[in-house]
Structure 1
Amino acid sequence: MDESPQTPETPGTPERPGALEAPEAVAGKPLDGRAELSEFLRTRRARLQPQDVGLPSYGRHRRVPGLRREELAQLAGVSVAYYTRLEQGNGRNVSGEVLDAIARALRLTDAEHAHLTHLAKPKALKKKRSARPQHMRPALQQLLDSIDGVPAYVVGRRSDILGWNAMAAALFGDWGQLAPKDRNWARICFLDEGVRDFFVDWEQKASDIVSYLRMDAGCYPNDPRLTALVGELSVKSEEFRNLWATHDVREKGHGVKRMRHPLVGEVTLSYETLRLPDDCDQSLIMYHAEPDSAAAQALRLLASWGRDAASVGSATK
């Protein structure tokens, strides 16, 4: 049975709260928690087909992409009316058990499950914390400075770069030369044309950053600085607008990045992301190379060059 015409789902129609909007409409607009919840559920449902979840697919012509609401409700064990209210952004009083069932039905990752919970059950504490300025403890800068031969930096909310060591400056450029508000990975990635050549897989880097911002938006929907950042990037970058409209979220604790450095050429480094135990909004990110590899030699060359390069900066100085 098709869904009610009162809840149209044709992509791009005005009824879709999270559909791609004109840049001028996005800029400065506060993030609407109900719309975020609604569109997140819509986009997750749209990526599943009946055969993906063991349901029969009747006919070749389906009016909506992916699963219908009644199919998703059936899988989650809730009524269609209940799920419809939730997908329309009404997450009040929804239980954790129901969210768990919907997450299983949608085959959400752990990061997506957490994001759904934040959107459906926002906490007042998040609003207060998001207004506080971010500060990196001085001891962390001392730790960064003591790490020899390994690019390392600390990133906070909104992908703000809070501190770094000499090797990070040698690899990525001296962030100390930037204005404090520009020490931000999202700004650097989408507004600095040189970064597109620096990262061999720029599209993946850009997608990762937008995913992090989406998760921040779920945790801190009332953060005015995040709203301003999203608005600015939506106006200035079509790539950002398109990625933001996907509502994708994920966390990557480790991985590999390929970079083209002007001094050492192409280098492939592994990275590890360590979330700080006393501040879950800050993470220490470290890049390293396989022993005796070409990348290890490149890092040694950068370390030698970095000692004579620009001095290390910190957002706290």
Structure 2
Amino acid sequence: MTSDQERRKELGALLRARREQVDRADYGLPPGTRGRRKGLRREEVSYLSGVSVTWYTWLEQGRDINPSRQVLDAIARCLRLTVPEHNYLLGLAGLVPAPPGAESAVQTAPAHVQRFLDALAGHPAYALAPDWGITGWNRAYEALYPNVASASPEQRNLLWLVFTDPGVRDLLDDWEVTSRRFLAEFRAEAGPRLGDPRYLDLIARLIETSPEFRAGWQDHDIRGFQSRERIFHHPRAGRLVFEQHQLRPSDRPDIQLVVYTPIESPS
């Protein structure tokens, strides 16, 4: 399957998932067949968005068509997509610039990025490649999560570690919520690149390895990054409370830096 086919398939799956999740009462519609309160029929989406039912059906089927921005905007309004979901939809259709990415895999953070991480003494920080491979970290982050140094390069991927490393599950205060949040943020960033073999391989391995990832991937949750409180249960230091922030170097926008700043003194 080509990259374009993968994106069309993902676009159709997203529309279908959102169509099946909406509440009919929100549209002033009676329950559907068998009294179901969730989900619109394709014909209803067509009527409410002003898009022909044939065209909408083709979109859900991943057909090789080129929808306009106007069509996708109308469908997004009809399905009440969030801003991240709407942008994700447009990205899959090639109607917004692709997020910054590297043509080849980024294995190690550039020297100046690593020096910046090291300068954040006492603040756990790490660098992520576009595919969420962890390419650099400082001593504070290694103290928080020692396994980052011992993981093999092919497994030193944030999404992989969150869903497969029992140490991460024990470290996180709310693994079920946080793992789903990470997955939703990864999907929001990765949409236009889902045809890249690196992404296909990572997703395939996670689907095979983690039932929780497999269930989350099928839900098509999409969320943008937000700075927020993060709580960790460290085996030696105990309960640690940080605020999580994201930065991108202007000269390397393909790399994102994640920094934890303490919001409780013991941290």
Matches within 5 A, 1:3-152: 32-52=6-26, 54-57=27-30, 61=34, 65-90=38-63, 92-121=65-94, 131-134=103-106, 136-152=109-125
Q: Is the 8 A contact 1:29 1:231 kept in 2?
A: no
Q: Is the 8 A contact 1:115 1:215 kept in 2?
A: yes
Q: Is the 8 A contact 2:23 2:37 kept in 1?
A: no
Choose from 197, 211, 216 the match for 1:243.
216
Alignment-derived partner of residue 21 in structure 1: none
The amino acid that maps onto 1:133 is A
- What TM-score comes out, normalization by structure 2 length? 0.88
My pick for the range that moved more, 57-66 or 229-238, is 57-66
- List gaps (5 residues or longer) in structure 2: none
Local SS of the residue matching 1:157? coil
Identity value in percent: 36
2:193 equivalent to 1:225: no
2:245 equivalent to 1:272: yes
Deviation string, structure 1 residues 45-66 (Cα, Å, up to 9, x no partner): 11112222x3321566257941
| Alpha-carbon distance between aligned partners in 2 of 1:42 and 1:282, rounded to the nearest angstrom | 32
Query: How many pairs are equivalent?
Result: 265
Alignment-derived partner of residue 184 in structure 1: 157
The amino acid that maps onto 2:201 is A
Alignment-derived partner of residue 307 in structure 1: none
| Alpha-carbon distance between aligned partners in 2 of 1:279 and 1:105, rounded to the nearest angstrom | 37
Quick check: which has more Rg, 1 or 2? 1
Q: Is the 8 A contact 2:25 2:37 kept in 1?
A: no
Alignment-derived partner of residue 266 in structure 2: 297
- What TM-score comes out, normalization by structure 1 length? 0.75
Choose from 163, 169, 183 the match for 1:196.
169
Deviation string, structure 1 residues 125-160 (Cα, Å, up to 9, x no partner): 96xx66412253211111111112211111122221
The amino acid that maps onto 1:50 is R
The amino acid that maps onto 1:40 is L
| Alpha-carbon distance between aligned partners in 1 of 2:11 and 2:37, rounded to the nearest angstrom | 19
Greater relative contact order (Cα < 8 A, sep 6+): 1
The ranges of structure 1 where at least 4 consecutive aligned residues each deviate by more than 4 angstroms after the TM superposition are 28-31, 62-65
The amino acid that maps onto 2:266 is Q
Local SS of the residue matching 1:61? helix
